[in-house]
Amino acid sequence: METQMNELAGINAAAQTLQNLAIRTPLAPSNILSQEYDGEIFLKLENLQRTGAFKFRGAYNKLHKLSEVEKQAGVIACSAGNHAQGVALAASLLGIRARIFMPVTAPLTKIEATKGYGAEVVLVGESFDETKELTIQEAQQTGEVFISPFDDRDVIEGQGTIGLEILADLPDVDNVIVPIGGGGLIAGIALAIKELHPETRIIGVQSYQVHGMISSLWAQQLVVNRTSKTLADGCDVALAGALTYELLHKRIDETVLVEEADIQRAIFYLALKEKVVAEGAGALSTAAILSGQINHLLKGKKTVAVVSGGNIDFSVLKGIL
């Protein structure tokens, strides 16, 4: 019990911090998926979170806990887009100066939204991992506080509040399907759920194009995996976090890799049938269901698919539709 309290203390504190700031997003039943897969399937709609993705939770929790000296120094972050917006909004609410380094390939909608929240945006690097290295180098030179998009306990605990909400709405949930990039979201959710309801199965999903975390879980050590960019740009992370890997490898039950066509199909399905706008990363959990790879886990069970974000570039959405 003592270990449980220690593990959950940070997530419970984050829930208090975010209580009147983050949206308590709905857990919506999917009648179509439930009927088709012979179970009860729900969508955790983090696309309805502030900034359109779950990232605000972790970003605010981290920035809120900075010392006054750190706040004065300003913050710097790297992001493909959603962490950028989360940090930008959190910094604006707390009166902290923020600079965000984003890959030159970042979606225009995410770049403009980040600027709209008041942060300075610098476009550098061809991929997230390259941008991350340049951001860390810059932070070392300027003294700004680097805000990791995933490999930070405060950020992870902020994301873990989603796990608390899922259990509050569906205490006997059997499966929780979560997209994976660097691992902050799934590590936080797994940390919360496995402490309170260890029987729940945690299922992680990545694209065949980029699956650093799943490759690491298979190899039982951190390895790089990226063959090309993915429609799930928010999860385009070749090397997962050391902390997220450490927290996750003991708590994940299943891993699923999906094709780009599966992700496209999931975005289309969510928009057309569920009236849910999801970006590629946000559609990964649904893609895992539609791919047919986990039918045996869904039958007769209660399953939550986390729709992690809805910040899709309009031209991409238009093309898919």
Q: In this predicted structure, what is the pLDDT of residue 16?
A: 98
- Residue among 179, 171, 169, 168 nearest 202 (CA): 179
Which residues make Cβ contacts (< 8 Å) with residue 12, sequence separation at least 6? 164
- Residue among 254, 310, 175, 243 nearest 10 (CA): 243
Please identify every residue annotated as catalytic. 55, 308
pLDDT tens digit string along 112-147? Answer: 999 999 999 999 998 888 999 999 999 999 999 999
Are 259 and 277 part of one and the same domain? yes
pLDDT tens digit string along 52-72? Answer: 999 999 999 999 999 999 999
Are 95 and 240 part of one and the same domain? no
Are 30 and 174 part of one and the same domain? yes
Among residues 116, 146, 176, which one ends one of the domains? 146
Alpha-carbon distance of 293 to 306, in angstroms, equals 17
Are 34 and 64 part of one and the same domain? no
Name the domain count of the chain. Answer: 2
Are 263 and 245 part of one and the same domain? yes
Are 94 and 18 part of one and the same domain? no
**pLDDT-based confidence at residue 81 (cuts at 50, 70, 90):** confident
Are 313 and 212 part of one and the same domain? yes
Alpha-carbon distance of 33 to 22, in angstroms, equals 28
Are 252 and 286 part of one and the same domain? yes
Are 46 and 65 part of one and the same domain? no
The torsion defined by the Cα of 139, 145, 148 and 151, in degrees rounded to 10, comes to 110
pLDDT tens digit string along 205-248? Answer: 999 999 999 999 999 999 999 999 899 988 988 899 999 999 99
- Which sign does the torsion angle of CA 8, 13, 18, 23 carry? positive
Contact 84, 131 (CB under 8 A): no
Among residues 146, 165, 200, which one ends one of the domains? 146
> How many residues belong to the chain?
321
Are 172 and 226 part of one and the same domain? yes
66: domain CATH number?
3.40.50.1100
Domain that holds residue 267: 1-53+152-320
Are 186 and 74 part of one and the same domain? no
Are 170 and 292 part of one and the same domain? yes
Residue 43 exposed, middle or buried by CB count within 10 Å (0-12, 13-18, 19+): buried
Alpha-carbon distance of 159 to 124, in angstroms, equals 27
Contact 159, 57 (CB under 8 A): yes
Among residues 130, 146, 162, which one ends one of the domains? 146
- Residue among 30, 26, 52, 84 nearest 312 (CA): 52
pLDDT tens digit string along 39-53? Answer: 999 999 999 999 999
**pLDDT-based confidence at residue 3 (cuts at 50, 70, 90):** very low
